[in-house]
Amino acid sequence: MSLKAPIQLALALAVIMGGMTQAHDTLTPSATANADDPYLWLEDIHGARPMDWVNAQNTITEKQYASSPEFTHTRDRILEVLDSDARIPYVERRGDYLFNFWQDKAHPRGLWRRTTLEEYRKSEPKWEVLLDIDALNKAEGKRWVFKGSDCLKPDYKRCLLNLSPDGGDAVEVREFDIPSKSFVKDGFVLPAAKTQVGWIDENRIYVGTDFGPGSMTTSSYPRIAKVWARGTPLSAATTVYEGKMTDLAVSASHDRTPGFERDFVNVAHDFFHSDMYQLKDGKLIHLDVPEDAANVDAHREWLLVQLRSAWTVGGVTYPSGALIAMKYDDFIAGKRNFTTLFAPNEHTALSSYAWTRHHLILDVMEDVKSRLDVLTPKDNGSWAREDMPGAPKFSTVSVIDTDPDHSDEYWLSVTGFLSPSSLDRGVLGEGKAELIKHSPAFFDASKFEVSQHFVASKDGTQVPYFEIAPKNIKLDGSNRTLLYGYGGFEISLQPFYSGSIGRAWLERGGVYVIANIRGGGEYGPRWHQAALQANRPRAYEDFSAVASDLIKRGVTSPKHLGAEGGSNGGLLMGNMLTLYPQLFGAIACEVPLLDMKRYVHLSAGTSWIAEYGNPDDPKQWDFIKTFSPYQNVKSDTTYPAVLFYTATSDDRVGPVQARKMAAKMQGMGYKDVWFYENTEGGHGAGADNKQSAHMHALAYEFLWDRLK
């Protein structure tokens, strides 16, 4: 099992653990006294005055962009995609069953369900519904949003369900019994908080949650990991580890693999640095691996370490981005004779890996395109290597599930910009994978073509980008073009199929572009580290270089070029707005960070200091202020039209930065500044498909209108 999974993977931007109780959700005395920022009052997230402002802004924006027949058409076409019964119901194997969570028009909050492989192979499988979230909401008078489950191996009869009250990261945990399809009376229950739980056995769980004052880190994640026994009050749970307030989070986990049962504690100091311990006989054994290892994985007899920085150990230097392996017990005994399973070159990076019972599948990116390798450990300590049988070329091919305890089964997701996604199932050693499910085409891809381009950034670095454009495009600068980017946290943007983008942008004649800028993980740790903290402007230089290249090539022109990004990508958009306004005609800035002076005092902001730096340190503020849009926006400047959208329930980044930026620009007299805030949905800004369709349609309609 990945020792970083309970924290690092759960804290990945798409799936950060929930948190209802936020230390910074309301105004602080120091904030209210700061005369330099007249919009601090908008930081009172649920206050009457800020919400009156939000409602007034929503009314204005909806009237302008969400009241036309074009908007309704776009929203409904997107919703058709999101609600389509022909979508692939992606599954996760748990024992003899395949589990799935499904949302559609009839079940907007979703069905948690399961089926067998035999049924799943059918065009219309029969599903056993375990929990109907809409029915639960009706019975309880709530608006729960399902946030996943953890079921106890090996029989998977008891599960810990995560339910968010508003779609934010906060989750209430409840124990659920699958045979009776009901919540367990007097079972494990935890109120909404930033909670991490995991099974030890049928009567004990590891838990990190809000135990009371001082139990959460300044990043607002669990500081303390405890063991909680069935039938006892939470106050009786015994402490396993207490971290520091300045740590990011602490978690504990139990590996139930038969014959390899182990317990671990992970102390995440920030997003990229952790200490790992094995908990054995009440004692903590520190795993002497680099703190900044991207992943540390104990699987059966093996220990795998994925490196962010070069590591010299045992007389050998292993490069940044490498994946290395050795026997776990040998490592604990002091040996350091690792084998290199993957080493990157100038064009490659390890995207991910997955264990089956006897093999290891590597997902490798080569210039942001996928290939899969199969590695097999041999008795003599060597590893055999071969290509994954039947893996298509020039697509994003990823292993989405395996059955490492029992078989060499694997499930592959295959997707591309113009190729509807498919789901394959195979068993290593038994020939080519079987096509199980295939998504329908939601738009006519025959009219378009995909190309990959490279452009030199300001410092000469070659930056790739994907372009999806009509065939025989006229390079006369007249094409409405939407440029999307992220550039942070080692997150890679690979080819993917989107019926929503196809319908809402491409079918109308637009060009869609994805920029693989630094700060992401497209070329491994080096690509990410090149845009950390003081080097963050490299990401913005890269994005502006792509924009300039699109203009230079005649694909578009500034008045027809739009940009879109969310979260860290929202910070990217804020910097395009303030640093490169001359390149764009319109910008959609979604659930963004913008006030980098105060971001560590807002929601979960302190958890990102390793990425951006600490603005409370004057020396670090000297470089942070160069990419803080809220401080850099000026009066009497020509800015492109901008839409800020966010969610009241976003307890990760929070809605206040978008609020303040919109209010500040409007206060400076800028007219083409628009704001919309959904109440539910958390950092994803949509609690169900209808809300998501509304938000996406709003952005696309705004961009299409302003780029005409």
pLDDT of res. 381: 81
For range 686-700, the mean pLDDT: 93
Bridge-based pairing of strands 561-566 and 586-590 is parallel
List phi, psi (to 5°) of 269. -80, -35
For range 284-299, the mean pLDDT: 96
List phi, psi (to 5°) of 311. -135, 120
pLDDT of res. 220: 92
In a domain, 134, yes or no: no
Least confident of 199-203, 300-304, 309-313, 677-681: 677-681
Give the domain CATH number at 625: 3.40.50.1820
Secondary structure element (H or E) that encloses residue 622, with its range: helix 618-624
Model confidence at 13, in pLDDT bands (50, 70, 90)? very low
pLDDT tens-digit series, residues 648-665: 999 899 999 999 999 999
Could you tell me what percent of the chain has a pLDDT over 70? Answer: 94
In a domain, 366, yes or no: no
In a domain, 380, yes or no: no
For range 129-134, the mean pLDDT: 98
Query: Helix %, strand %, coil % for the chain, to 5?
Result: 25, 35, 40
- Residue 107 is a catalytic residue: no
DSSP code of residue 9: I
Model confidence at 584, in pLDDT bands (50, 70, 90)? very high
Q: Is the pLDDT score of 400 beyond 80?
A: yes
Q: Is the pLDDT score of 21 beyond 60?
A: no
Distance between CA atoms of 53 and 659, rounded to whole angstroms?
9
Tell the burial category of 378 from Cβ atoms under 10 Å away from its Cβ (0-12, 13-18, 19+): exposed
- Tally of domains in the chain: 1
pLDDT of res. 393: 58
Model confidence at 1, in pLDDT bands (50, 70, 90)? low
Contacts of 460 (CB under 8 A, 6+ apart): none
Model confidence at 22, in pLDDT bands (50, 70, 90)? very low
Distance between CA atoms of 658 and 370, rounded to whole angstroms?
35
In sequence order, what E strands does 417-517 have? 419-427, 434-438, 448-456, 462-470, 481-484, 511-515
pLDDT tens-digit series, residues 318-360: 999 999 999 999 999 999 999 999 999 999 999 999 999 999 9
CA dihedral (236, 240, 245, 251) in degrees, to 10, reads -110
pLDDT tens-digit series, residues 596-647: 999 999 999 999 999 999 999 999 999 999 999 999 999 999 999 999 999 9
Look up the domain containing 467 and give its range: 66-80+442-706
Least confident of 166-170, 390-394, 490-494: 390-394
Model confidence at 30, in pLDDT bands (50, 70, 90)? very low
Q: State the average pLDDT for the chain.
A: 93
In a domain, 162, yes or no: no
pLDDT of res. 35: 59
In a domain, 495, yes or no: yes
For range 200-205, the mean pLDDT: 98
pLDDT of res. 167: 87
pLDDT of res. 170: 86
Q: Is the pLDDT score of 33 beyond 60?
A: no
Report residue 129 as tokens.
Answer: 């519904």
Could you report how far apart the first and last alpha carbons of the chain are, in Å? 51
Helix/strand/coil for 152: coil
Could you say which of 567, 607, 628, 649 is catalytic?
A: 567
For range 430-434, the mean pLDDT: 91
pLDDT of res. 395: 78
Check: CB of residue 285 under 8 Å from CB of residue 263. Answer: no
In a domain, 71, yes or no: yes
Q: Is the pLDDT score of 471 beyond 90?
A: yes
Q: Taking the CB of residue 614, how many other CB atoms lie within 10 A of it?
A: 17
Tell the burial category of 313 from Cβ atoms under 10 Å away from its Cβ (0-12, 13-18, 19+): middle
pLDDT tens-digit series, residues 515-574: 999 999 999 999 999 999 999 999 999 999 999 999 999 999 999 999 999 999 999 999
Could you say which of 683, 692, 694, 696 is catalytic?
A: 683
pLDDT tens-digit series, residues 408-423: 999 999 999 999 999 9
Q: Taking the CB of residue 431, how many other CB atoms lie within 10 A of it?
A: 10
In 3D, which of 450, 417, 453 has the Cα closest to residue 542?
Answer: 453
Q: Is the pLDDT score of 223 beyond 50?
A: yes
Give me the amino acid identity at 430.
E
Model confidence at 26, in pLDDT bands (50, 70, 90)? very low
Contacts of 124 (CB under 8 A, 6+ apart): none
pLDDT of res. 298: 96
Q: Is the dihedral of CA 69, 72, 76, 77 positive or negative?
A: positive
- Residue 567 is a catalytic residue: yes
In a domain, 224, yes or no: no
Q: Tokens 């492989």, residue?
A: 117
List phi, psi (to 5°) of 442. -95, -5
pLDDT of res. 339: 97
Distance between CA atoms of 57 and 286, rounded to whole angstroms?
53
Model confidence at 31, in pLDDT bands (50, 70, 90)? very low
Secondary structure element (H or E) that encloses residue 59, with its range: helix 48-65
Q: Is the pLDDT score of 19 beyond 80?
A: no
In a domain, 509, yes or no: yes
